[in-house]
Amino acid sequence: MVVNAVTVVDPAADTEAHGFAEFRHTLADALTVEYEQILGRFGLQDHAPSLYSGRYFRSRLAHQVAGGDSQTLLDRCKALEMMHTATLVHDDVIDKAVLRRNLPTIAHLQGPDEALLIGNMIATRAITIVASASEPMTTDFLDAYDRVNTAQERELRYRGVLDKTEEQYYQICRGKTSAMLELAFLIGAAENGPDDGHEHLLLAIREVGIAFQVIDDVEDLVAWLEGAEIDRSKRAQFDIELGNYTLPVIVALDAASGDKTERSLDDVDKQTWLDAIETTFKVAFRHLETAEAEVDRARKKAETPLVVQRVDAWSKRVSDALHTKKLDSVVRDFMHDGEDDD
């Protein structure tokens, strides 16, 4: 049950064991009401589960940083999830995605015009929630939403650009992935008061977000290289088919033989793909190491050490999950596919 006061819990413990499961259930119920009201205008109220059935990755972070439940935390997480959902609805329009979370996208069901309108209505409702009663975090929400949209514009601008740089790629990551994670931290941290150490924790979370995105992009590329139909939560073209050249593609193109001014994907051979993927995988873990260093810096300045411990526990949990993916073995299986047929 959600209460008005924050209840401090063991920061190193799994949030599921200390109330996140119940918090998530309450949050899902609140989101159901919001989505059914918006989608009902289009006769799509039965489609609400496709919008609230995500992993609640951001709200989990906010809840863990907060250290417990409050009505304010619930309202802010509801707005956070709705704002994130609005960006996904718009993203599906841009990418012409057919499925998300194993259900048809709104863009596929209703077409791009209504999908854009629904996304706008969800985002507007999110801002309305946080702006109520002179909510002090309204600016933080608007800043995060602006960062996501700016990153989306950059991604569109660089589509099909073969000389896209690593810095341009990171600009997109910092907006599309890290912005909402940083907002989640601010939501949780607000339950504990201001702290000079928060600057370093924000940087740590940004680095974790980048690592998360880099590995996701490696997975997407490996699946494309294998040419396999895999069970993906978002059924659309692969990034490389859309012209969204991610870090492993950038690294591969930089390493490809031939004139750099006339390079193409055809110039990248199998070994170059493998080297690029393994290099990128290592880059992701360097970002996780940078995140750990920022947490250590925060620990030296923090006035609220529990918040640092909670972010550290969250960061390590994400890092452990990313390490278990073991993409190197997947890639090597790809390298050996078809060798007997040569």
Rg of the chain (C-alpha set): 21
CA distance to 119, 184, 246, 325, per residue, from 87 (Å): 7, 15, 19, 27
CA distance to 144, 157, 174, 216, 276, per residue, from 283 (Å): 25, 25, 15, 13, 10
Any domain includes 5: no
Q: What's residue 267's pLDDT? A: 87
Q: What's residue 8's pLDDT? A: 36
Q: Which domain holds residue 324?
A: 15-341
**DSSP string across 36-104:** HHHHGGGT-GGGTHHHH-S--HHHHHHHHHHTS--HHHHHHHHHHHHHHHHHHHHHHHHHT-SEETTEE
Compute the distance between CA of residue 244 and CA of residue 156 in angstroms, rounded to an integer.
8
What's the half-sphere exposure (Cβ side, CA atoms, 13 Å) at 185? 27
Any domain includes 241: yes
Two structure tokens written together for 230: 């895999």
Q: What's residue 324's pLDDT? A: 80
Two structure tokens written together for 309: 């411990």
- Could you tell me which residues come within 8 angstroms of residue 46 by beta carbon, excluding any fewer than 6 positions away? none
The candidate with the shortest Cα–Cα distance to 187, out of 318, 278, 56, is: 56
Any domain includes 197: yes
Compute the distance between CA of residue 339 and CA of residue 341 in angstroms, rounded to an integer.
5
For helices 179-189 and 305-323, the axis angle rounded to 10 degrees is 150
The candidate with the shortest Cα–Cα distance to 55, out of 305, 258, 294, 234, is: 234
Supply the CATH number for residue 286's domain.
1.10.600.10
User: Could you identify the residue written with the tokens 């201001």?
Assistant: 194
Any domain includes 204: yes
Any domain includes 285: yes
DSSP 261: G
Residue-by-residue pLDDT tens, the chain, 342 positions: 333 333 333 444 444 545 899 999 999 999 999 999 999 999 999 999 889 888 899 999 999 999 999 999 999 999 999 999 999 999 999 999 888 877 889 999 999 999 999 999 999 999 999 998 667 899 999 999 999 999 999 999 999 999 999 999 999 999 999 999 999 999 999 999 878 789 999 999 999 999 999 999 999 998 898 874 444 444 457 899 999 999 999 999 999 876 666 778 888 998 999 999 999 999 999 999 999 999 999 999 878 899 999 999 999 999 998 888 765 555 555 555 555 444
Q: What is the pTM of this model?
A: 0.88
Any domain includes 2: no
Q: What's residue 240's pLDDT? A: 93
Q: What's residue 177's pLDDT? A: 96
Number of domains in the chain: 1
CA distance to 39, 84, 90, 95, 297, per residue, from 115 (Å): 10, 15, 7, 12, 43
Compute the distance between CA of residue 260 and CA of residue 239 in angstroms, rounded to an integer.
22
Q: What's residue 102's pLDDT? A: 79
Any domain includes 309: yes
- Could you tell me which residues come within 8 angstroms of residue 134 by beta carbon, excluding any fewer than 6 positions away? none
Q: Where are the alpha helices (DSSP H) in the chain?
A: 20-39, 49-52, 57-66, 71-95, 106-110, 112-131, 138-157, 166-173, 179-189, 198-226, 239-242, 247-255, 270-301, 305-323, 327-336
Q: What's residue 223's pLDDT? A: 87
Any domain includes 336: yes
Compute the distance between CA of residue 206 and CA of residue 287 in angstroms, rounded to an integer.
9
Beta bridge mates, 100: 103, 234
